[in-house]
Amino acid sequence: MSKVNDPLHRVCIAGASGRMGQMLVEAVRGSGDCELTGALDVATSTAVGLDAGAFSGKATGVAITADLAAGLSGSQVLIDFTRPEGTMAHLQACVAHKVNLVIGTTGFSDAQKAQIAEAAKSIAIVMAPNMSVGVNVTLKLLEMAAKALSTGYDIEIIEAHHRHKVDAPSGTALKMGEVIADALGRDLKECAVYGREGVTGERDPSTIGFATVRGGDIVGDHTVLFAGTGERIEITHKSSSRATYAQGSLRAVRFLAGRSTGLYDMFDVLGLR
């Protein structure tokens, strides 16, 4: 854990050779108050053994490893934007080594979410489907809008991501739906509509609709449409770079400093609760 008067947050990054992993490596390098102390990847990755900064041509002195214990050694926090099965393995290692965790992974089952909540009794965890500061401010705006537009407005959530994304709707879109449903006193599991085809009948005004687009290199676009009679309100967030997720993750790392247990999200990190 932290040395006395050590100003640096010692960070390990999971999936260090991936697109998001490399963005996180660069964010840590440029932060001034964070130090890269570990880099993880799967054993089958050709990046294992390489310097974590090799892809950018800027050596970090930290080699990518598939050994969880070695990667977490000397680290205070692991940042994980991998896949659910990988994150769950990392979760157990973090509990065993008393390393806090920032989770940006999406697509968890209810059972996996319950395991994360249980682990938060032993370590401190920030989990959010989107680490972007702007997205989380947008979530707060959606909460306010939903309360004001609770009757007479149909709600649709449209999201677009790159062709490589494996889950749909996006975790961010689902979080938007949860925030809106909570504000309206509804259960998203009961009112969500994820697809329409054929003769669907008239729209049920109590539903929240989702539409998904996948293609190209779209980083992440989300629009929530409140469609009323004679007007519509659209609240949109568009990401042009993964850098915003990386910077939000570092804010989560700083938030966890000094915390030993608990499950938090970006509303806690940003003071939006």
- Phi then psi for 24, rounded to 5 degrees? -70, -40
User: For residue 96, what are the contacts with CB-CB under 8 A and spacing of at least 6?
Assistant: none
Query: Which residue among the candidates 9, 98, 113, 165 is catalytic per the annotation?
Result: 165
Cis amide leading into 169 (omega within 30):
yes
3-state secondary structure of 25: helix
Chain-centroid distance, C-alpha 239: 13
Helix (H) or strand (E) holding 161: strand 154-161
Q: What long-range pairs does 235-239 form, CB within 8 A, spacing at least 24? A: 235/138, 235/141, 235/142, 235/145, 237/132, 237/134, 237/135, 237/138, 239/132, 239/134, 239/135
Cα four-point dihedral sign 115, 158, 82, 94: negative
Q: Which two tokens stand for residue 95?
A: 């509990």
Cβ-based burial of 73 (10 A; exposed 0-12, middle 13-18, buried ≥19): middle
Token pair, residue 90, equals: 């990392």
> Catalytic pick from 9, 90, 161, 237?
161
Helix (H) or strand (E) holding 96: helix 84-97
Report d(CA 236, CA 222) in Å as an integer.
Answer: 6
Non-local CB neighbours of 177 within 8 Å, separated by 6+ positions: 157, 169, 188, 192, 208, 210
Q: Does the active-site annotation cover 237?
A: no
- Residue 165 appears among annotated catalytic residues: yes
Q: Among all residues, which ones are annotated catalytic?
A: 161, 165
